Amino acid sequence: MFRLIGNPGTGSAIVEAALALSGLPYETEMLDLWQPGPERDRLFQLNPLGQVPVLILPDGSVMTESAAMVLHIIDLAPDAGLAPKPGSATRPAFLRWLIFLVASIYPTFTYGDDPSRYVNEQEGRDELRAVTDAERQRAWRQIETSIAGPWMLGSERSALDLYVWAMVNWRPRRDWFRSYCPRLAQIADAVDAEPRLAAVKAENWPAA
Ligand SMILES: N[C@@H](CCC(=O)N[C@@H](CS)C(=O)NCC(=O)O)C(=O)O
């Protein structure tokens, strides 16, 4: 049994969705990521970066980094429709965008969500928030103009679409995507409609 440690509405939803589609047995443990206390202390013991998702593997070992988890799930459930098979024409694009999402988009939140962790003066904090927000929008537009839809990889749904699905709920949020990245907004809507993800959606975005 896998144990996914997460926080509702965060990137743990991506891995939870991948697990749900994989058919692998898993359970979730939701904690309050931002609230100092025993749960957060435990998170830092598991992941010194203090980030979710954290995945406890059936043998008890600890995995961090969503892309690593997604690739591991794909290794274990290669027929779950989460990625093109190695050697297929779309596999390089899958790998490219997976790394792009976690290396170019995810860190804009790491540095922009709470700039006070990195910058002392309020003016600098505001600037760090603004530049990371702008950089993220630039990166999303790059994806938008690179894809044809209806999924990130064209006709083939993959775990990339799960990242889009979760991340359109974060800054600059869904209405911005509808205006400036309509293909990405459509991907999020299409994943939303996947019945096998209804429970994951309810756990992560109960009001949606
Ligand atoms: N590279 C990591 C990023 C994980 C990450 O930044 N998670 C956010 C939640 S969406 C988090 O835990 N933020 C808390 C923090 O950075 O202090 C991954 O892909 O798993």
pLDDT digits (tens, 9 = 90+) for 9-24: 999 999 999 999 999 9
Span(s) in the chain for CATH 3.40.30.10: 2-82+197-204
For 193, counting Cβ atoms within 10 Å of its Cβ (0-12 exposed, 13-18 middle, 19+ buried), the class is exposed
Between the CA of 179 and the centroid of ligand 1 the distance, in Å, is 26
pTM of the model: 0.98
What is the predicted pLDDT for the residue at 207? 85
Residue 208 pLDDT > 90, yes or no?
Answer: no
Compute the distance between CA of residue 112 and CA of residue 90 in angstroms, rounded to an integer: 32
Average pLDDT over residues 37-60: 97
**pLDDT value at position 194?**
98
Tens digit of each residue's pLDDT (9 = 90 or more) over 108-124: 999 999 999 999 999 99
Q: Is the model's pLDDT at 125 over the cut of 90?
A: yes
Which protein residues are within 6 Å of ligand 1, measured from CB? 10-11, 33, 50-53, 65-67, 102, 106, 110
Atom of ligand 1 nearest to the CA of 109: 6
Separation of CA 200 and ligand 1 centre (Å): 18
For CA atoms 46, 99, 112, 183, the dihedral sign is negative
Asked if 174 contacts 136 with a C-beta cutoff of 8 angstroms, the reply is no
Domain 2-82+197-204 has CATH 3.40.710.10: no
CA neighbor of 15 nearest in space, from 62, 55, 46, 45:
55
Sign of CA dihedral 130, 52, 33, 172: positive
